[in-house]
Chain A
């Protein structure tokens, strides 16, 4: 009954072919704190992708399921950790989902494994198996909704008010996107949708309508914004909320097309876990979900405006929340009196530079890449200063980084970065 889900995640992975250039071409990569050892593997990066694709295929048909799901989780996570500038919430979602799948008996029914070992074949699995995925989806939507409960989003319709008029030349409906009330409508519907949709999907009477709105909502966002596969993943994943009968009916149909015997499709067995593994799974899930509930809230521990400092912004289901753009120039001085202005294009791709310019942790990491590079080039103890300029949701640009701080001397940590300048405004809410 997981077949459809697997297929959608594999398809999107397959679709990702264009991403290869992101990992092989750039000279430098941005790592996640604590995962600096995860680096692209040169030409072997292709091998890594092949493993992930193969694992996804095996998960899909349910062959060597356990091994394939572990393989997929590890290879996919490694790929995501290679470069921070490509971070997207839905990649993180896939990582979490694939982690959960390792522990779920998704091969118990309508799979090659079940066909090889009929003992496995069963059409009933414990309810926590599907519930855990549902919970993950609910957390994702709900936190995405919470993040929208802020004054910029609700009271100023930002960034919708900036993004929508850019689409006002779409035939027929384009005119609407110039209207201010449409930006407000989109903001409020988006927020209410995110907060409630998980529960509406769970609640049987509203389920079909809720699912229809999932399809419409995500298709509309994919039409308007460049967010890749995310809408399709959510459309696929939300199917999990439908009843067992629904999924079985679909599988019966597919089975009929594939000419699979009726007895294989109705084994009548129940997938059992031993007492120990049942307890382990319960404990593990409680731990996992406590982390999922708390981790997105870690921004509360940092001073300053989250959208400005981005301390605790990632891994928190904050999607399409702000229009942030910046430019940053680095000035390097050394003991011998040499002063140069760094040409960012020499080190970074345009995409990397764009991401780096607005995110303090990447600015710091880049400053250290520069330090290492110029030390090798003969500069003595170079000091590195960032001349930055960042605009957030239409606020006139300001310096993000204290230009008098030598970034070469600053270290990355989970502590608050003192050299991020104040936002000089307040965005109220979550």
Chain B
């Protein structure tokens, strides 16, 4: 057993020498590190923190809940104007409800990405914004008068897209739309469906908000890990999923035909707000801005803890270029901002006249998705758990 010992001892001594050398290098390194840490870097970035509990608190208190409160206000205005229109359908009350629908739809773009916690529990997005609207389904529901709107098959028969059809799409001119509701035979049923849709949205949103104000908030703030089910991981998953499926594919890829599944054939009738048409660009711009503000922690003019500050605090940067990952992400987001800003507000028209610009947005968004989905999750040790889109 001890015969080979001599040889081993020799090897061991060699290693031991190496070890001494290593320790010296280690001390040198530690010394340089300490001097680095005290450099002015810290003073320029006061918002840097890797405390996830603080970040989660800022998210829920300054971003998620205030956005819901604003949206609730706009949805309430829609509910009131829809009520007035139902009681007294005139050109004026129709115009008011159409305007408040636009305002609420824009406001919705600021909350759609927060499909975590209560919103995820009630699958808010599925009931609010699945388009294109299912017109024949809507017509069936109006005549039957007793549709079960909780079923997944009815997603496209309710929410903003269904209201888009009811307020803007049932006829060409405003007088004819009004006539649709003044119809002696079916008018009452039509108005009743409109009311059902709006109050259903109101009920669902109130559930989400009251859950957040109940135990959901504390629960959210206290799940500080990064494993599956933790709040940060859930938010990142919801955030990236939203951008990939509902912004990249939903607003641009599918209508422009840029996704491989649509094989280059544009589907302009699949744009968001297809019947209103001239607000699809405004909706997308709002969504894009909300998305990028969330990344940077910008809420009501103030800046707080965010994915950006977290990535900076853990020094997520490319070791070959030394460039911060958050800079890569913001660079890509601003390329997209510029492209989106140059589009027409009417995406239907945009696709008919210059679809290439829509396809270009899709491609740049695809680059952003990859940076977020691969580089950001890798840097944060988060696992993407949602499954890839099968429908686009």
Contact = CB atoms under 8 A, between A and B. Distances in A.
Given A127-B2, A165-B314, A199 B15 contact: yes
A345 B387 CA distance: 7
Interface in B1-27: 1-5, 8-9, 11-12, 15-16, 18-19, 22-23, 26
Contacts of A424: 320
Contacts of B379: 162, 394
B320 A325 contact: no
The B interface is mostly helix, strand or loop, or mixed, namely helix
B261 to A, nearest CB: 6
B318 A344 contact: no
A229 interface: no
A396 B320 CA distance: 9
B342 interface: no
Contacts of B320: 395, 424-425
Given A199-B11, A343-B388, A395-B319, A181 B374 contact: no
A396 B314 contact: no
Nearest to B316: A394
Contacts of A397: 370-371, 374-375
Given A166-B226, A344-B388, A391 B378 contact: yes
Interface in A201-226: 202-203
Contacts of A161: 314-315
Nearest to B314: A165
A131 B7 CA distance: 13
Given A188-B26, A396-B328, A340 B11 contact: no
A178 B19 contact: no
From A165, A184, A195, A424, name the one whose CB has the most chain B CB atoms within 10 angstroms.
Answer: A165
Nearest to B14: A199
A321 interface: no
Contacts of B313: 178
B370 A327 contact: yes
Nearest to A166: B381
A158 B371 CA distance: 19
Interface string A151-184: 0100010100111011011000000001011001
B34 interface: yes
Nearest to A177: B50
A203 B8 contact: yes
Given A163-B381, A184-B30, A396-B325, A339 B315 contact: no
B151 interface: no
B225 interface: yes
A319 interface: no
Contacts of A327: 370, 373-374
A395 B371 CA distance: 11
Contacts of A191: 22
Nearest to A129: B1
Contact of B30 (A181, A192, A343): A181
A196 B29 contact: no
Given A161-B315, A325-B377, A424-B320, A341 B19 contact: no
B377 A130 contact: no
A203 B8 CA distance: 8
Contacts of A339: 260, 263
Given A331-B260, A343-B388, A396 B375 contact: yes
A389 B1 contact: no
Given A169-B53, A196-B15, A341-B260, A184 B29 contact: yes
B1 A180 contact: no
Given A178-B314, A199-B15, A394-B379, 16 more contacts: A162-B379, A162-B381, A169-B52, A178-B50, A180-B33, A180-B315, A181-B30, A184-B26, A188-B29, A196-B19, A199-B11, A345-B388, A350-B385, A391-B378, A394-B318, A395-B320
26 contacts: A127-B1, A131-B4, A156-B319, A161-B315, A162-B379, A166-B226, A166-B381, A168-B52, A180-B37, A181-B37, A184-B30, A192-B22, A199-B15, A200-B12, A202-B8, A324-B378, A325-B377, A327-B374, A339-B263, A341-B261, A344-B388, A350-B387, A389-B370, A394-B316, A396-B323, A425-B320
Q: Which 3 A-B pairs have the closest CB atoms?
A: A127-B1, A166-B381, A341-B260
